[in-house]
Structure 1
């Protein structure tokens, strides 16, 4: 394969929402998407391969296949819709069914069963973490000249400093280390879980976590404006994972749902988190433009697994 086929220049958006959660498999774009991929291949075979692209991988948490506007027009996701329209949608893509296993697989390029993290999620203050002997994607990219940054949910262990993102290949980390935290108090069972690099941080505490992710994405991308090295940024927001905590503005994005009906109110809160996630995607793309990185960037949007099938807080297993 021509080397340029591995490095796609200009903004290329790849959307890979799991059609099902449970196993990894081959992906297969539709014919229209396949034609678009062929267009990218032909266009970039003529380009100089010396300029390595910036890579932005956005991994949503519990994003449902039907919870994006290009699959469901009732859902307000204009920025994610734009990626789908102008990029490539992979339509037969599979992930692990839970958070830690998907993240372990992505960052090591191994099946979850080969990482030791596959039978469930790592619990808060677990005495284990992603095995230290495994090489990670950011470590490999750093060895090839990339600057590596991460925003959002780690969830691969924090029992000692060697398990934290900045010890596993990321030059900079701003995010949470646990499975889930409060969107406003940033804590898990009363313990602060938001970190900046390897230390807990309460700066801007009280800001909705997804809004803080937007600020972090802009700051970290703009800081790379005049840097010679290519950028790898892993953006792993908690949204739209529980708890269903939203601002009023987020809640009002889907007014067709009746807030006086409990189930519809929960659905509206869930979609409010989806809308906040969409704002994060839009802010990331705009920051790439403002930093002059946009024309040499690959943006990948995925979910760690499918949407939650449980009516949160009720213990049932029926779908929304």
Structure 2
């Protein structure tokens, strides 16, 4: 494949200096069915281009199409013209979700259930699979693992190999006129530019902003892919709106003062929007709020909390603008109708607070929130609002941790009318769906258990074609540290032991058909269902956790 001059320049700069700078210039739903339920293969006639976009730590109601007050017109358009899933779920944690998405396996099966500082063990990524169908494969953004994605089926990769990083300066050196960049590691995060990876990437451009840079690199790859004339898969993993809370001043400007009324006021507005959009109804009892009473907070506390939500909103707004740039590029070259775009989040909004040592203070606490020198986090109060209408947060197997928006846009195959998809779906379903659309069968390879296991998920193609349901032979399982769950049809078993081991928790049982917000525990009323799902969970855990002798 011919490589662009821009990326040849990247490789040269990396070889000479170990770093590079390439920040380019910024450039009520209709729920009726589309009416066309013919097989997607008949509708397309050829393999679609695929762009998979992943947000980071974004709550279920953080998009306008899902009830937010944050302006996201570009993603709202994709939802309005495509499919909007209401019961799509993830693992509740960044790196397990990313491993599950890429492989279609549970994170336990590829050794990504405990630490991000490991390589995926075995399995097959969707990039490795689609290469067999002649796809050119690209990745941009956050990987959150120890291998370069080029080692796992991507022809090209540029981005943050590690977890979260400073948006303005992800390196270690202060640029002229700026404080030292706030960061978690003294020597910085690992960034990769094609085959070259290094720590401490400090961009020279004072206007560098990670969300924008990821989009610049994406459009470079799309330009190359379009010229190659082959079908392509492009996986774009943004870091927004994961902390640190950082956004350019112009992005924050529309949100100044918007959140002065506090948590309850914004949560009430979101609830009203969700009702108006018919995204919630009587199946969603409203949980009791646990965020603080705004009226009992000091003026300084209110100012601090308002600033956090303003910047968080600005980060999502900026992400949406960048998605708009990608859509505009596709429209300009006439390929939007033939491109399958999927948008989702890796977990719910985060209540985590990043502090420095035992001080209890944020990194760079003496610098303003939102600046290059401060690592500020959203915190549990706004995270609860962000996850409206659900309870709990990232790291928890309750809906607040695992519920994600999923938007699917593909005009040529799906038509252009919004359709809601209420069937249960999960990250493990993406790989089999892409295989189905590419006309491929899965070829199992040995994973971390030592077995060549089949994919546990299902193809979502019947849902894309218009079916209201799809058969799922096994429950969906989740386990991350202190929380676990089993979802079997309308029944959900879940437990949580904060700061403990998941298996020490007491199971709660919810009927999602009538209680999607998990407010009425039915475990005592249905012990037989609890026992059945508990056995299924223990069998699954043994299956995915065992290692080959």
Distance 1:92 1:208 in 2: 32
Pairing 1:71–2:66 present: yes
- Go from structure 1 to structure 2 and tell me whether the alpha carbon gap of 1:43 and 1:247 turns closer, same or farther (over 3 Å shift): same
Q: What corresponds to 1:245 in structure 2?
A: 246
From 140, 152, 169, the equivalent of 1:185 is 169
Question: Following TM superposition, by how much is the alpha carbon of 1:43 offset from its aligned partner in structure 2, in angstroms?
Answer: 7.9
Structure 1 contact 221–291 (Cα < 8 Å) conserved: no
Distance 1:96 1:40 in 2: 33
Moved more, 200-209 or 97-106: 200-209
Q: What corresponds to 2:259 in structure 1?
A: 257
Structure 1 consecutive aligned stretches of length 4 or more whose deviation exceeds 6 Å: none
- Go from structure 1 to structure 2 and tell me whether the alpha carbon gap of 1:264 and 1:315 turns closer, same or farther (over 3 Å shift): closer
Question: Following TM superposition, by how much is the alpha carbon of 1:289 offset from its aligned partner in structure 2, in angstroms?
Answer: 1.8
Pairing 1:32–2:28 present: no
Question: Following TM superposition, by how much is the alpha carbon of 1:93 offset from its aligned partner in structure 2, in angstroms?
Answer: 1.1
From 83, 86, 110, the equivalent of 1:88 is 83
Question: Following TM superposition, by how much is the alpha carbon of 1:191 offset from its aligned partner in structure 2, in angstroms?
Answer: 2.4
Count of residues in Structure 1 that have an aligned counterpart in Structure 2: 276
Q: What corresponds to 2:344 in structure 1?
A: 302
- Go from structure 1 to structure 2 and tell me whether the alpha carbon gap of 1:136 and 1:204 turns closer, same or farther (over 3 Å shift): farther
Pairing 1:55–2:42 present: no
From 159, 170, 176, the equivalent of 2:160 is 176
Higher RCO structure (Cα 8 Å, ≥6 apart): 1
Q: What corresponds to 1:149 in structure 2?
A: 138
Q: What corresponds to 1:276 in structure 2?
A: 318
Computed over aligned residues only, the root mean square deviation of the Cα atoms, in angstroms, reads 2.5
Pairing 1:41–2:37 present: yes
Question: Following TM superposition, by how much is the alpha carbon of 1:48 offset from its aligned partner in structure 2, in angstroms?
Answer: 5.7
In structure 2, runs of 5+ residues without a counterpart are 1-28, 172-182, 261-299, 355-361, 363-376, 386-549
Structure 2 contact 245–378 (Cα < 8 Å) conserved: no
- Go from structure 1 to structure 2 and tell me whether the alpha carbon gap of 1:202 and 1:146 turns closer, same or farther (over 3 Å shift): farther
Question: Following TM superposition, by how much is the alpha carbon of 1:106 offset from its aligned partner in structure 2, in angstroms?
Answer: 0.8
Structure 1 contact 224–291 (Cα < 8 Å) conserved: no
Distance 1:87 1:97 in 2: 25
Question: Following TM superposition, by how much is the alpha carbon of 1:192 offset from its aligned partner in structure 2, in angstroms?
Answer: 5.0
Pairing 1:134–2:123 present: yes
SS in 2 for 1:67: coil
- Go from structure 1 to structure 2 and tell me whether the alpha carbon gap of 1:107 and 1:40 turns closer, same or farther (over 3 Å shift): farther
Structure 1 contact 240–273 (Cα < 8 Å) conserved: yes
In structure 1, runs of 5+ residues without a counterpart are 1-29, 158-162
